[in-house]
Amino acid sequence: MAGGIRDPRTSVTSRVLAILGAFDVDHPTLTLTDIARRTGLPLATAHRLVGELVAWRALSRGPDGGYTVGVRLWEVGLLSPLHARLREVALPYLQDLHSAVRENVHLAVRDGDEALYVEKVTGHRAVPIISRVGGRLPLHATGVGKALLAFASAAYIAAFLRGPLPRCTSYTITEPGRLARELATVRRHGWAATSEEMTLGSCSVAVPVLDTEGTAVASIGVVVHSLGAHLERLVPALRGVADQVAARLTTTAEDPYPGLRHGVAPHRPPAHRASA
């Protein structure tokens, strides 16, 4: 269950949010019965609120009776700074990076104890990956996650290391002391790497996008096949792109829609094609 509501005193807002929260990557389509079960709402209450959400186009009802997230909710979501600002600024640079490395390119931010994937640029020849835009993966098991974690506040890192640290593969680092040492290395070198810690057969390298105070507001990473990978060779191209994104975010700090109103500032593509 996504999060049941049993208290009859619960506000209407909480009930509506529970209905929206019932949808996730594993449950993109739900019947009315599914919604009532996953939220803990009485069927009659779920029916009334879902009807209002459909009328507002926050939900959409298919011909088979199933409900999905509606176009109005999608439109509202696009107003989030993650899309209207960070993604719009970063995407052209991510595309340049993909053209140079021909591998999976990710843009992620930290949300809670997870890496939230804001954008992904890939090709049909790239190594298969489980990440998706809007998806979440553990910070400690991903390159973009480690880059974000290493440049978080000392208090947050200390709390994170207290765990739990789930093991995604047999190579995932779950020992707090070992992870702390690795994060110190990431801060010293300015880039993070993983080797089959999230998915067997693939490894990753990532760098933070830092604000003027040295805190990671995002991270940019590349995922490649483990066999024959030379991750350090990708670092210069990654750093160049991260620096450009950081600079663009700074110069457009007062504009919530920098990519929409003024277009994207001229930028230099990577000087040469990097090799994985």
Q: What is the CATH number of the domain that holds 60?
A: 1.10.10.10
Same domain, 28 and 164: no
pLDDT of residue 103: 87
Same domain, 54 and 90: no
The number of folded domains in the chain is: 2
Rounded CA separation 116/98 (Å): 20
Same domain, 85 and 72: no
Please report which helix (H) or strand (E) contains residue 223, including its range. strand 216-225
pLDDT of residue 245: 95
pLDDT of residue 128: 59
The DSSP result for 44-110, as a single string, is: HHHHHHHHHHHHTTSEEE-TTS-EEE-HHHHHHHTTSHIIIIIIHHHHHHHHHHHHHH-SEEEEEEE
pLDDT of residue 264: 45
Same domain, 108 and 173: yes
CA 86 to chain centre: 12
pLDDT of residue 175: 96
Rg over CA atoms, the chain = 21
- State both tokens at 197: 């810690």
Same domain, 22 and 87: no
pLDDT of residue 9: 62
- 4, part of any domain: no
- 267, part of any domain: no
- 241, part of any domain: yes
- CATH assignment at residue 244: 3.30.450.40
Domain of residue 122 covers: 81-261
Rounded CA separation 75/52 (Å): 17
- Closest listed residue to residue 104, CA positions, set 217, 200, 206: 206
Same domain, 58 and 123: no
Low-confidence ranges of the chain (pLDDT < 70): 1-9, 81-84, 124-130, 254-276
Same domain, 105 and 203: yes
- 2, part of any domain: no
Same domain, 100 and 227: yes
pLDDT of residue 75: 81
Place of tokens 């933070």: 208
Reported pTM: 0.75
pLDDT of residue 252: 81
- State both tokens at 54: 């459909």
